[in-house]
Amino acid sequence: MSTLLPLLDALDDRPQAVQLRELTYEGLGDVVVDVGCGSGRAVGELAARGVRAVGVDADPEMIEVAAERWPAGEFHVADATALPLDDGSVTGYRADKVLHVLPEPQLAVAEARRVLAPGGRAVLTGQDWDTVVIDSDDPARTRSIVHTRADGMPHPRIARRYRNLLLDNGFTDVTVEVRALVWTDGAALPVLANLGGDGAWLAEQTARARDDRLFVAVPIFLAAGRLSCGGSR
C-alpha cells in the first residue's frame, strides 16, 4: 500500500478524474456504500454533501488512512462479497476500479443487489486493462507490457462485462459510457513504470515527456443501473 498510495493520490487529483468521480455520484441517494474505497476520497466527498457514506476495503492499511483523512465518513475492513450492511439498507452502491482484482466479481454485484433498497442505484467504473493506449516507437514491446500486466490480474477485462453483470442481477435502465484519462506530460511516467515498463522502453517515454511528445490514454468504463423494485433477492 505504501508505494501505491502516492500514485492513487496523483491520479485522483487530475481534473479528468475529478470530473469522472462527479459522474459516479449522480443519483446515489442519501445512504451510499463505496466498495474498494481505498484512501476514502469518494466517501469524504459524499459525506461533505450530507450523505451517509460508508467505505469498505479489504486492505486494513487503506482503511486506517481513509479514517484519518476523512473523519466524517464511516469505514470498515470487509470483503466486497460480504458487506457489513443489512439487506436493502443503502440507496446507492459505488465500486470504482475494484472488480478486476476480485476472484469472483459477479458475487460482488450480487452483494450490491442485496444491500440496495428497491430502486437503488449501482455504479460500476474502471478500466479495461487491455485497452490502455500508449504512443511508442516500439509497438510490439508496448503490446507486450500492456497484455502482460493485464494477464497478471484475476479479471482484467471485467469492465466490458459491467452492463451484463448489472442486467444479470436484476438491474434496469442500465447505461454505459466511456471516458478517457489522458496524459501528455511527465505525470504519466509513474503510471507507466507501475504498468511494468522499464529499461529502454521507459527511457523512450521519459524522453517523450521531456520533448512534449508523450501520449497515454486510459479509457474508463462507467455502467449504472437501478435495482428493479420488483426484483427478488
**Neighbouring-strand partners of residue 121:** 92, 226
Q: Which amino acid is at 6?
A: P
Residue 138 has pLDDT above 60, yes or no: yes
Residue 11 has pLDDT above 90, yes or no: no
DSSP 179: E
Residue 69 · residue 122 · CB < 8 Å: no
3 pLDDT band, cuts 50/70/90, is low
Q: Which amino acid is at 101?
A: V
C-alpha cell at 213: 511528445
pLDDT tens for 77-112 read: 999 999 999 999 999 999 999 999 999 999 999 999
- What topology is assigned to 4-128+154-181+219-227 in CATH? Rossmann fold (3.40.50)
Q: What is residue 92's three-state secondary structure?
A: strand
Domain boundaries along the sequence of the chain: 4-128+154-181+219-227
pLDDT given at position 232: 44
Nearest by Cα to 218 from 187, 183, 185: 183
Percent of the chain predicted with pLDDT > 70: 97
pLDDT given at position 233: 43
